[in-house]
Amino acid sequence: MEQYVKPDNSLLYYKCDDVDFAQGNGQLFTEFENGFATRQINIINNDMYISSSLKDWNENIGFLLYDGHIDSLDLSDSTPITSVEFESKWKEAILVDTNKPQISYLKGDASLPLEENTLIIHVVNILGLWGKGFVLSLSKQFPFAKKEYLKWSEDKETFRLGEVQFVCVGQQKTIFIANMLAQKGVRKNYKDSTTYIDYDALRLCLKKVARFSLKNRLSIQMPKIGSGLAGGDWGEIEKIINEELIYYKIKCSIFEL
């Protein structure tokens, strides 16, 4: 059923210093959001393995992310930790990760979902205009995304730079659209060289996209956001994507026509 989805956040962090893995004992650091594991750090024999996907598996560890609710776990041997402690360990682990996360560049139409559990993200403007560029293809596939954006544009309290509207458009599959409000205007004509993308707003949007993707266990796909009609520099945008999405080991595909 198509619907607008309001994001919710509730994060908990735990550490266990004595965990039985497939090939011995080790340490486990887990981030939970709304009771479900979203990121996990597995340490055995001084080797560190990190994951935010239920598909990740290693012969020494087994599956790298817990699939289940926190209420089903015995946490008596675990210690609650702060987000700062977890993030510090995650940063340490990602530096030595042998399976470095990276952006996948593909040819094709980003509005066509690659997988059953997908979040399609794109940039929308603050003017409430939907009619050029990628949105033409997107609204052809998912007209409900346009309808919800236009309705959102009338809400003066929430329709502001840095906000994201998550819209469920999948019926048989789990497909979401993220309308990211990070564009200050629209190009007037082909001679207009103004930069309309707001990089700070884009970063805020991608932070929210990352949490939504982790919580709902979605891969992300997009066009080359912000670099077309918004006039942004792709090198700068790619840097932000790496810092706000790839950092979390979220599968991320970027489509070029």
Q: What is the dihedral of CA 13, 14, 20, 25, to 10 degrees?
A: 100
Phi and psi at residue 183, to the nearest 5°: -125, 125
pLDDT-derived band at 1 (thresholds 50, 70, 90) equals: low
- pLDDT above 90 covers a percentage of the chain that reads 82
Model confidence at 187: pLDDT above 90: no
What are the sequence ranges of the domains in the chain?
11-96, 104-256
Model confidence at 214: pLDDT above 70: yes
Q: What's the whole-number average pLDDT of the chain?
A: 92
pLDDT-derived band at 189 (thresholds 50, 70, 90) equals: confident
pLDDT at residue 230, rounded to an integer: 86
pLDDT at residue 2, rounded to an integer: 60
Q: Helices 199-216 and 234-244 sit at what angle, rounded to 10 degrees?
A: 40
Summarize pLDDT for 128-153 with one digit per residue, the tens: 999 888 999 999 999 999 999 999 99
First to last CA, the chain: 30
Model confidence at 9: pLDDT above 80: no
Model confidence at 8: pLDDT above 70: no
pLDDT at residue 177, rounded to an integer: 98
pLDDT at residue 10, rounded to an integer: 85
pLDDT-derived band at 93 (thresholds 50, 70, 90) equals: very high
Selection from 222, 140, 142, 136 nearest residue 182 by Cα: 222
* CATH code linked to domain 104-256: 3.40.220.10
Selection from 209, 215, 211, 207 nearest residue 35 by Cα: 215
Selection from 111, 35, 45, 122 nearest residue 70 by Cα: 35
- Tell me the mean pLDDT in the region 116-132: 94
pLDDT at residue 99, rounded to an integer: 77
Summarize pLDDT for 43-73 with one digit per residue, the tens: 999 899 999 999 999 999 999 999 999 999 9
Model confidence at 77: pLDDT above 60: yes
pLDDT-derived band at 158 (thresholds 50, 70, 90) equals: very high
Model confidence at 243: pLDDT above 70: yes
pLDDT at residue 3, rounded to an integer: 58
Model confidence at 7: pLDDT above 70: no
